[in-house]
């Protein structure tokens, strides 16, 4: 008796510890339960890479993983699906637009000097670019204030269109301005020398507001030794001239600056630079994240954006909870009716089983999704099955005329091998699903596997400890609490 009192104290202490841990550590809920956004990106073959293989996928995933971490979205996950797709889940994020922008860009950063003899053309295109951007912003602000934007004087733009070779017949005013802007960008790129410095030499990137205008931001860069030397050479080559140093990202000009004559002797040394390009806090942050994450080795395309509202997530939780509680209640009624006192003990053991399961989910931690809940509920069935095997063996011993205590001990001993075999085969299936499956299948396998392991503990330890502890009370040591009197041999009182 003393032995089982010790075990009972141990199980009780374990239950209290698990309950307190669960109260202090909330469960992590997946996208389908919490709500949020899911983006699917497809890696595209490019250059010498005709087929996207595992190596390319790992390289792309590493870059995207750094960018996702830079976004600062808590508990995000990035998983490979199939041979060329990656799925990003952002729990709690209801606007995936910024994430799509950050993930979809290649982020090829280049520093290029302006070609000699192009000063006038470059200056003209930059002025056109600046005016088009300012008008577009003005029209956007007018719409935000509920005003109708002013109509453009198309006659004034006719010469510009002809000089750029732009045919925008039928386009709206905004589409015409955007086309002018894009065409000016393309023309400007033709006036630049090939890149002498790229983002490969970048060590880190940051952002900071401008001292004279806190609403405008700039992105700071720091290069390694090779990059610092290349940057010094590049700035030295154009120092004191009218030529500009252009900074491009994915073949888009984002900034251009002159280099003063004081750097003509050695260029700008120290390996640090800044990019200023009319950035606000958000756009500066996006550029910083992309640069810190590095350039993608292959282009990617965002092929699907899915948003799950928090209301739908809450509804999923409610339905899953109702399913779990309903299942437990029906199982509890069945166990008590079919097995009497052992059935009531099994209900207590199953409650401990559910508590231990949820505590392990919080401890590891396991991100709980709908398939994960399905695995948990299925594992409850395994736990019930283990108790049924034990109680049926106990009944068999009582029908043979064995004493109650000996029947309990023999029932646990004889059921052990069957329980172990059944749980081991399920664990093998879980291992195969976890290591060979992807995404939600892994979650299902994880919760089912954890449940099967804990089922072994609760069936063979908790149920036995509780049952033997109760047998310490004479009033409960009645075989009729385990089996109907008519099923006992007539020679047994």
Is the full-model pTM beyond 0.75? no
pLDDT tens readout for residues 416-446? 888 888 889 999 998 998 888 766 777 888 8
Instruction: Tell me the pLDDT band of 493, cut-offs 50, 70 and 90.
Output: very low
β 109-113/245-249 pair status: antiparallel
Count of beta carbons in the 10 Å neighbourhood of residue 227: 21
pLDDT tens per residue, range 153-185? 666 666 666 766 766 666 777 777 788 888 888
CA distance 185 to 55: 34
- At 339, list the tokens: 């097995």
Give the 3-state secondary structure of 13-28. HHHHHHHHHHHHCCCE
What's the token pair of residue 298? Answer: 């292959």
Portion of the chain with pLDDT greater than 90, in percent: 2
| Angstrom distance (rounded) from CA 239 to CA 445 | 63
Cα end-to-end span (Å), the chain: 24
Q: What is the mean pLDDT of residues 122-150?
A: 80
**Residue range 382-401: average pLDDT?**
88
More confident residue, 493 or 247: 247
- pLDDT tens figures, 52-106: 888 888 888 888 887 777 766 656 778 888 788 888 888 777 777 777 777 777 7
* Whether the Cβ atoms of residue 225 and residue 261 lie closer than 8 Å to each other: no
User: φ, ψ for residue 441 (rounded to 5)?
Assistant: -65, -40
Across the chain, how many H-helices and E-strands are there? Answer: 14, 13
Q: How far is Cα 271 from Cα 290, in angstroms, rounded to an integer?
A: 19
């Amino acid at each position: 008796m003393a032995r089982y009192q010790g075990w009972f104290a141990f199980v009780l202490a374990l239950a209290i510890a698990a309950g307190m841990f669960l109260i202090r550590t909330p469960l992590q809920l997946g996208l389908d339960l919490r709500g949020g956004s899911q983006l699917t990106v497809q890696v595209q073959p490019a250059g010498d890479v005709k087929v996207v293989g595992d190596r390319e996928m790992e390289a792309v995933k590493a870059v995207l993983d750094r960018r996702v971490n830079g976004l600062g979205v808590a508990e995000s996950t990035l998983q490979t699906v199939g041979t060329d797709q990656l799925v990003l889940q952002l729990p709690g994020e209801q606007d995936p637009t910024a994430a799509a922008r950050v993930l979809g860009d290649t982020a090829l950063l280049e520093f290029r000097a302006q070609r000699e003899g192009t000063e006038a053309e470059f200056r003209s295109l930059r002025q056109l670019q600046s005016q088009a951007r300012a008008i577009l912003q003005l029209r956007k602000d007018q719409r935000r204030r509920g005003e109708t934007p002013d109509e453009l004087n198309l006659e004034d733009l006719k010469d510009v269109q002809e000089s750029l070779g732009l045919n925008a017949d039928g386009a709206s005013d905004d589409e015409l301005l955007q086309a002018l802007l894009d065409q000016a960008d393309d023309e400007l790129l033709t006036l630049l020398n090939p890149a002498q410095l790229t983002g490969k030499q970048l060590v880190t990137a940051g952002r900071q507001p401008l001292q004279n205008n806190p609403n405008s931001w700039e992105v700071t860069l720091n290069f390694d030794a090779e990059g610092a030397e290349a940057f010094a050479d590049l700035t030295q080559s154009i120092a004191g001239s009218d030529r500009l140093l252009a900074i491009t990202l994915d073949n888009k000009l984002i900034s251009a600056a002159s280099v003063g004559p004081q750097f003509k002797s050695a260029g700008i040394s120290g390996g640090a630079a800044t990019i200023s390009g009319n950035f606000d806090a958000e756009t500066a942050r996006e550029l910083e994240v992309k640069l810190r994450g590095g350039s993608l080795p292959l282009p990617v395309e965002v092929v699907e954006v899915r948003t799950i509202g928090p209301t739908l997530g809450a509804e999923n939780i409610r339905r899953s909870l109702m399913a779990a509680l309903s299942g437990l209640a029906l199982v509890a009624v069945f166990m008590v009716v079919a097995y009497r006192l052992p059935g009531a003990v099994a209900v207590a053991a199953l409650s401990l089983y559910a508590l231990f399961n949820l505590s392990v989910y919080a401890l590891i931690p396991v991100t709980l999704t709908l398939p994960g809940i399905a695995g948990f509920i299925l594992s409850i069935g395994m736990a019930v099955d283990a108790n049924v095997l034990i109680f049926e063996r106990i009944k068999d011993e009582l029908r043979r005329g064995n004493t109650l205590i000996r029947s309990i001990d023999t029932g646990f001993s004889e059921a052990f091998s069957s329980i172990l075999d059944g749980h081991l085969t399920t664990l093998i299936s879980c291992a195969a699903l976890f290591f060979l499956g992807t995404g939600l299948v892994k979650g299902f396998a994880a919760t089912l596997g954890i449940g099967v392991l804990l089922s072994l503990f609760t069936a063979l330890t908790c149920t036995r400890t509780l049952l033997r502890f109760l047998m310490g009370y004479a009033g409960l040591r009645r075989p009729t609490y385990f089996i109907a009197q008519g099923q006992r041999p007539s020679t047994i009182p």
